[in-house]
Amino acid sequence: MTMTQDDRPTLKIAGAIEFSPAPEGHPVDIRPHQGHFIDGMFVEGAEEGRFQTIDPATARPLATVAAATAQEIDAAVKAARKAQQGVWGRMSGAERGKFLYRIARRLQERAREFAVLETMDNGKPIRETRDVDVPLAAQHFFYYAGWADKLGYAVPGRTPHPVGVAAQVIPWNFPLLMLSWKIAPALACGNTVVLKPSETTPLSAMRFAQILQEVGLPPGVVNLVNGPGATGALLVGHEGVDKVAFTGSTGVGRHIMRTVAGTKKKLTLELGGKSAHIVYRDAALTQAVEGVIDGIFFNQGHVCCAGSRLLLEASIADEFVERLKIRMQSLRIGNPLDKNTDVGAINSAAQLQRIQHYMDIAEQEGAGIWQGAACPAPSEGFFHLPTLLTGVQQSDTVVREEIFGPVLTVLTFRTPEEAVAKANDSEYGLAAGVWTEKTAKLFGTAHALNAGVVWANGYNLFDPASPFGGVRHSGFGREGGIAGLWPYLEAR
Ligand code: NAD
């Protein structure tokens, strides 16, 4: 394959189609200060340590946020314990299920408001929050509501018991969805929860607490504490916690593993990834281009399972890269609240810096850097153009490390064995995509891949009934489906 070392970095702008602005107009009031939600009540939180949550599309602050003190975390854990040993632990599964159904319905009723709020706080396009994040969050509550009175079927021949109080720490890339992945199965199984949202995206979780009040969830069943990493460390280290569920980076996951080691706490970790697409020459190429674009650019690469390593069969590599470039030139980058936007803002200045750091490394490693979009990136806010890195090696840092941005590396292979070897040559093992019209090749490749999830002729497809999780440094434990119940149950 002849990988052209294109001019770099080059913004290719198609500019042929002009769209009228189509901003989402639904008004959302944001309280200027966000505290915590403890024992069924909103509390202001301490003055000390307050920080701001920023709209990444404008770099302007949306609200100040409190950082929970050790006393506040203690109060939240104690409230959760009281609720678990009292009302929630004694409630029948059918009654618990009714609360989950109510939460799901309220989320649906307030879906537009949540979509706008999530887009403002996270920077992802409204199209994503409206069509993916919020509907899927509601679906998770519906799905686990159905399980609440049928837990015996999840552990046949044994009796299910709740684990107790769950400490849950989540990242910023899918704030409401990650919250639903954590809270819905925990509550269905009779546990209570103290959850810490990411410090850069606390707003949808705090609004979710309004829903908890609206549906009359007993106080203490769900508690939310805000704050940075140090708050998360205090929470997972609290001796009153029975189970820790963490989603975030592999580095922090390792740290949490060390904290929890030697205690009675159960642990599940959903960590980072460097997932590969394998595209065979017999794939439906237009469909594959769309899947690859969806897997890395539509969400600014802010997906744990982002398909960030593209492996192309050598004979189609040039054609495929050309097709990708053409499609990339039609991607609209800009205001995430505009319904035409494909690529929104990077969540924070720190994350943008991290991506730029990897771009410097790409240059040092001699990669061909090609950037394309239908329009220039806005000058204010945190934006990064969709980027292809060609001419890279398997051993390059940009191929091995998680960039967590809209950056796709391109490599080639000649045989299915080589494709699998390259895909598996990673410390991660979260997801993979296989593109071929040949079923035997599809199954053969999928079975040989070291990944928790393998999508066939599609990518980033989620369903609450389907378990999700990684292997190796991408973590352990599953969220979603029947397997998502097990970490929250003691089967005796
Ligand atoms: P991060 O690890 O920096 O932070 C995640 C959460 O952990 C945040 O709430 C943070 O405040 C908290 N935290 C930080 N240090 C902590 C500590 N010492 N103890 C306890 N909590 C601590 O990750 P991030 O930048 O918010 O998210 C991006 C990462 O998350 C990426 O690596 C991505 O792949 C991963 N992720 C994985 C999945 C999955 O399902 N496998 C899903 C989403 C995101």
User: For residues 170 and 143, is the Cβ–Cβ distance under 8 A?
Assistant: no
User: Does any domain span residue 15?
Assistant: no
Residue bearing the CA closest to ligand 1, atom 23: 248
User: Does any domain span residue 448?
Assistant: yes
Residues 220, 72 share a domain: yes
User: Does any domain span residue 7?
Assistant: no
Whether the per-residue pLDDT at 4 is higher than 70: the answer is: no
The 10 Å Cβ neighbour count of residue 397 is: 13
User: Does any domain span residue 306?
Assistant: yes
User: Does any domain span residue 487?
Assistant: yes
152-168 average pLDDT score: 97
Q: Give pLDDT, residue 347.
A: 98
Which residues belong to the active site? 270, 304
Q: Which of 132, 176, 181, 249 to mutate to test the pocket of ligand 1 (most atoms within 8 A of CB)?
A: 249
Residues 285, 264 share a domain: no
- CB-based contacts of 362, cutoff 8 Å, min separation 6: 369, 389, 392, 396, 398, 407
Residue bearing the CA closest to ligand 1, atom 43: 304
Residues 55, 152 share a domain: yes
pLDDT tens figures, 384-395: 999 999 999 999
Predicted confidence band of residue 482 (pLDDT cuts 50, 70, 90)? very high
Amino acid at 120: M
307-320 average pLDDT score: 98
Instruction: Give ligand 1 pocket residues (Cβ under 6 A).
Output: 169-173, 196, 198-199, 228-229, 232-233, 236, 247-249, 252, 255-256, 270-273, 304, 402, 404, 430, 470, 474-475
Question: Phi and psi dihedrals of 320, rounded to 5?
Answer: -65, -45
Average pLDDT, the chain: 95
Residues 227, 102 share a domain: yes
**Closest-lying ligand 1 atom to the alpha carbon of residue 174:** 43
Q: Give pLDDT, residue 361.
A: 98
Residues 440, 310 share a domain: yes
User: Does any domain span residue 19?
Assistant: no
Q: Give pLDDT, residue 9.
A: 53
Q: Which CATH number goes with the domain that contains 197?
A: 3.40.605.10
Q: Which CATH number goes with the domain that contains 407?
A: 3.40.309.10
**Closest-lying ligand 1 atom to the alpha carbon of residue 198:** 9
Q: Give pLDDT, residue 27.
A: 83
What pTM was estimated for this model as a whole? 0.95
Residue bearing the CA closest to ligand 1, atom 30: 248
Residues 340, 313 share a domain: yes
The number of C-alpha atoms within 13 Å of 24 and in the hemisphere containing its C-beta is: 26
Q: Which of 236, 258, 271, 427 to mutate to test the pocket of ligand 1 (most atoms within 8 A of CB)?
A: 271
Residues 218, 79 share a domain: yes
274-286 average pLDDT score: 98
Which residues span the domain enclosing 409?
A: 276-456
Alpha carbons 225 and 75: distance in angstroms, whole number: 10
**Closest-lying ligand 1 atom to the alpha carbon of residue 304:** 34
Whether the per-residue pLDDT at 87 is higher than 60: the answer is: yes
Predicted confidence band of residue 26 (pLDDT cuts 50, 70, 90)? confident
User: Does any domain span residue 466?
Assistant: no
Count of domains forming the chain: 2
Residues 48, 136 share a domain: yes
Distance of CA 352 to the CA centre of its chain: 17
CA angle 404, 410, 413 (to 5 degrees): 130
Residues 327, 227 share a domain: no
Q: Give pLDDT, residue 8.
A: 46
Distance 156 CA to ligand 1 centre (A): 34
Q: Which of 121, 140, 173 to mutate to test the pocket of ligand 1 (most atoms within 8 A of CB)?
A: 173
Alpha carbons 234 and 71: distance in angstroms, whole number: 10
Whether the per-residue pLDDT at 349 is higher than 80: the answer is: yes
Distance 182 CA to ligand 1 centre (A): 14
pLDDT tens figures, 181-215: 999 999 999 999 999 999 999 999 999 999 999 99
Whether the per-residue pLDDT at 7 is higher than 70: the answer is: no
Instruction: Name the CA dihedral angle for 478, 482, 484, 485, rounded to a multiple of 10 degrees.
Output: -140
User: Does any domain span residue 467?
Assistant: no
